[in-house]
Amino acid sequence: MADIAQLLRGAVETHVHSSPDVVPRRLDDFELARQAEEAGLRAVVLKSHHTLTADRAQHVRKAVPGVETFGGLALNYPVGGLNPIAVETALNFGARVIWMPTFHAANHVAKMQHAGDSPLLRALGSCPDGGIAIRDGGGQLKPVVHAILRLIAERDATLATGHLAPAETEALVDAALAAGVRRVLVTHPELDIIAMPLEMQARLAQKGAMLERCFIVTTMGFNAKRLAEAIRAVGVASTVMATDFGQLVNPPPVEGLRAYVRAMLDEDFAGAEIEQMLHYNPAKVLGLES
């Protein structure tokens, strides 16, 4: 069996939550970066549902130069929702990823109204209305979404799809590619509030999108075997392994990656396949090919 520690060296983690945040996190930005550096990771991306993380990432890179730390912006109400000015400002700060709405997405809000107890998601906060939709009443993408996509394309940043409904995501991916966005990451399609069908995942992968398969779903009723089956059904070439960890109830993100690698080895993925999903694919989707 491949060596887990060796497989972690050079890994790129695209989805972690650290403090400062409005909800308690397992570790802060600097602790995260130091643990990533110790494990030999190449890069990590700081994500917040509430605020910009690209400015924080600049401080972390200076303090912990052995790992590349990046940030971005999630387009929820705290930053004005679908706000091109916020996007442009984030890109000026060096944001590597722009996420479409997450906990304020209309899909997220609707699903949470009918969901059972989900403390990890409910802790993020409530929404003042029905949430943010990216399409108008006629089913067309709103002009402001096209404006945001143009900004992402111009700066060659990465578009992540957030917590949109599957149909919204597919429309967004088509528009992003048409606008010249070169890097599209579909955010945890297995998460229960998204539950994207495998056929749609395969279509998006064929168009060039990457699918960010987060280990956190194994703590929410979607076991590692099902995760492995989804990867095999859609393909290793389109898969990005990430954790979405940082919550108090979950292990630190580096430990989560270690567990993810172990689980995929147990599901008979070859070391080279794991390297593609953990090193090369996330590097490509972040523009770190060289």
Does residue 183 form part of some domain?
yes
CATH of the domain at 80: 3.20.20.140
Q: What is the mean pLDDT of the chain?
A: 95
What end-to-end distance do the CA atoms of the chain give, in Å?
28
Question: H helices within 73-191, ranges in order?
Answer: 84-92, 106-114, 119-122, 143-154, 166-179
pLDDT 10s digits, 140-177: 999 999 999 999 999 999 999 999 999 999 999 999 99
Q: What's the CA gap between 87 and 23, in Å, rounded?
A: 23
Say what the pLDDT of residue 127 is.
Answer: 83
CB 49 within 8 A of CB 163: no
CB 134 within 8 A of CB 76: no
CB 121 within 8 A of CB 94: no
Q: What is the DSSP letter of 276?
A: I
Does residue 36 form part of some domain?
no
- Residue 86 is part of which domain span? 74-285
Q: How confident is the model at residue 253 (pLDDT cuts 50, 70, 90)?
A: very high
Say what the pLDDT of residue 290 is.
Answer: 59
Q: How many domains, in total, are found in the chain?
A: 1
What is the average per-residue pLDDT within 4-19? 97
Does residue 210 form part of some domain?
yes
Does residue 33 form part of some domain?
no
pLDDT 10s digits, 113-150: 765 556 767 677 778 889 999 999 999 999 999 999 99
Say what the pLDDT of residue 2 is.
Answer: 73
pLDDT 10s digits, 181-239: 999 999 999 999 999 999 999 999 999 999 999 999 999 888 999 999 999 999 999 99
What is the average per-residue pLDDT within 246-261? 97
What is the average per-residue pLDDT within 40-67? 98
pLDDT 10s digits, 202-218: 999 999 999 999 999 99
Neighbours of 137 (CB within 10 A): 6
Does residue 259 form part of some domain?
yes
Does residue 202 form part of some domain?
yes
Q: What's the CA gap between 181 and 219, in Å, rounded?
A: 32
